[in-house]
Structure formats: C-alpha cells, structure tokens
Homo-oligomer: A and B are copies of this chain.
C-alpha cells in the first residue's frame, strides 16, 4: 500500500448530528488504508516531511465532491441475475411464483457471476460497502475480494433446510473471518417467519459466543407483524427479544411492521441493533407502509439505507435508495421538514456504517477512518446551478455522476472504470448464465411464503 493524495476537492462533512456541510478546496491525505488528514488545499498535513517525498498517487479532485463511500445496508447481491424477471406481482406471488422457485437454480458458479456483476454495479455507483444476506456466501466473498469492495456477508439459512445447512452457514461465516480486512461476517437466519425460535436461539447463542452479529428479515410488513401476533401472541421484535437475537446484536432488514410497542424493547439494545430501510421495494410490492424511522430514532436505533435485491429493486443504486428514503419518510410523517438533507445523507453513510458493524471505521471522512471515498461530479445539467451541494447529492445526482472511488485507500474506480475487474467479461458471464437462474421448469421452491 502507499500514499494517496486527493487534491483540491470539496468534502462532504457528515457530523454525528446536526447539519452536514461541504468544505471547498481541501486535500485528503491517505496513508495505506486510512485517511490521515484533511487540510486546506496546498497546506502540508501535520507531521508531513517538508520535502513532500513519497507523495504517492495524486488524484485531482477539482470540481468534484468527496463523499463518504455509500453503504448498501441490506442486499442480496447475486439476485442481479433475476433483474426484471419478477415484475408487477404481489409479495406473495413474487416469492411463491417467481423468486423461491427460481432459487432452486442457485449454484456456486451462478452466485459468483451474479455477485461479480453486483460488485461492479455498486462500485461504479460509489457504494464502497455492502451488507449482504444470501446463499453460497463464500462465492460472494470471492467476488467482493476480486472487485476490491468492502462487504459484510451473512450466509443465509432457513430452518426447513435442516441443521446441517445451518452448521454449514455458520462455518462459512467463520471462514469469512480469514478473508482479509475488507470482509466481515454475520450470521444470516432468513427471517422470523422462516427460522424457528429454537434455531434463532441457537444462532443467538453462537453469535454471542463467537462475536458475530445477526442479519435477518423481520417485521417486513404490518401483515407479518399481525400474523405473528395472531399465531404466536408476540410481534416479530418480541420473537427477536425472547430468542436473544437482539441481545446478540442484530441488523433488522425492513422493519416496516415495527409497532410503537416494540420501540421500548429495541431501545434496550440500541447500542447493537440497527435497521435497514429499502423503500423502493415497499412501494413496488405495495407493502402498505415504510420503515418507521422517526420512531426508531426516538429510541436511539440507528438506521441505514439499502436496496434489497435487484430482483425487486432492479438496481443496487444507493443514491436512488437514499432519495426514496427522504421522499417516503416525508410522506409517511406528513412533514416536509422531516428527513432533511443532512439526516438523509447521514443515514446513507454513518447509518450504513452502523448497519455494517463498522460504525467507527467507515461512514465519514475523518482522520483515522478507512479511506472509503466516492468522488462525485456535480457538473451535469441535472445538478446545475448548485445552490446547495447537499440538495444536489440527495435529489439530483445519478450514479453515473460518480467518477472515482477508493476503498481502504485503493483506487477501485478511476474515471468511471473499474481498476480490478474486466467489465466486459463480467457481462459476458452474466448474460451466459442469466437464463439458467430464471428457469421455472425444475419445479419446487426453496421455501414457501406464508408468514
């Protein structure tokens, strides 16, 4: 590794609370994988050698805004292979007539090809960390490592697959801990409605004993919560509480069905429980509501922005997702002043970092943090004139405005090109295999949706 200097760039400063701001004409100094200093352009960083020797690579930031690399707080990356293959369907039909029958077709190779495409899409769009939840997660790790992206990977399991499948998933998670600094591991029970209490309890015990976090779907819709109450007498959050999942530390995907009565429970674990919100999906599947972020924030639970899988979100575009969070939160609370520019940007950066279990490592551009940075070009006609760069980032920017991306101090996208992967080869492989993923002729399904 080496030194990198991003010279003469505007820097998006995302504080832990309060207003974000953009500081113009800054130099970002990077040593190895970390930011060492951010100084006005041309000022030597504290402790720099006077002769500037060993300066390393210089990235010209003129006209660009440096943004903390976005975090995709919840996705199933290989599902890009099913993009556009399950449209205009109810949530029941989406699961039972398309996705779960299609997932009978999963193989390690197909998962890897999909994950490679997903990593390419995300890096080119300024996503530097993704929090994944899927099968054959060892293949997703390979793809992530190849691309240079950072990933927290939860090998997914259903109770219906039997204890061996759970053991295998846990073993995969253990193995991920050996895959280098950009890969972290979580445990991935699918959901409260597909994994029984005993298996959740066992997962939570393991997580506590070995220091894993747990990433799972829970309270995705009001209907799921009501069904849980009807069947079990408790809400999904109460299931997570009584099985020890919350105590172990959890990332709850969606949580649209979290009730006010669940909030005091979540408050007890606010230091280790986070929620990912993916609102494009909630509208597209007509799920009836969106994540109650205002309530979650009132009890100190941190929230990240996610895309969910591209089989429903169609993209892994976190710019699109963060915009949808702002819009749908204003709508939900009937308050145009709520979920303002600063809070929205904070969710997609610091909030995502917390969801990834990396709250102290990524999510902000500060000395000591990992150098995960997206350089964004606001010069397009859809952003001009720029009265407020924060507004441009939330409401105008497209992923195609991302020009250069660093992960852990390494340039992984330079001038809109991946530095580590051959995109044409990624496309060729994906096109060759895409039809095999969506083939419904095999019959069967990996699971049945009846929450």
Contact = CB atoms under 8 A, between A and B. Distances in A.
A149 to B, nearest CB: 13
Contacts of A431: 384-385
Interface stretch (A25-33, A157-165, A389-397): A389-397
A438 B315 contact: no
Contacts of A381: 117, 120-121, 124, 423, 426-427
Contacts of A338: 286
Given A382-B121, A438-B387, A396 B330 contact: no
A330 B438 CA distance: 24
Contact of A388 (B87, B328, B336, B383): B87
Nearest to A344: B88
Contacts of A395: 84, 87, 284, 313-315
Tally of this chain's copies = 2
A335 to B, nearest CB: 6
A80 B333 CA distance: 28
Given A121-B382, A395-B314, A337 B83 contact: no
Q: Which of A87, A386, A391 has the most chain B CB within a 10 Å cutoff?
A: A87
Contact of A387 (B84, B124, B341): B84
Nearest to A82: B387
Contact of A400 (B82, B121, B286, B400): B400
A229 interface: no
A97 to B, nearest CB: 12
Nearest to A280: B327
A336 B89 contact: yes
Given A90-B336, A381-B120, A434-B387, A396 B283 contact: no
B88 A396 contact: no
Contacts of A330: 283-286
A38 B88 CA distance: 30
Contacts of A389: 84
B328 A117 contact: no
A398 to B, nearest CB: 5
Given A87-B388, A87-B391, 12 more contacts: A82-B387, A83-B387, A85-B388, A87-B341, A89-B336, A90-B337, A283-B330, A284-B330, A285-B330, A286-B331, A324-B327, A398-B398
14 contacts: A88-B340, A89-B336, A121-B382, A124-B381, A280-B327, A283-B328, A284-B395, A285-B336, A286-B333, A314-B392, A314-B396, A384-B427, A384-B431, A398-B398
Return the 6 tightest CB-CB contacts between A and B, nearest first: A84-B391, A314-B395, A385-B434, A400-B400, A283-B327, A121-B381
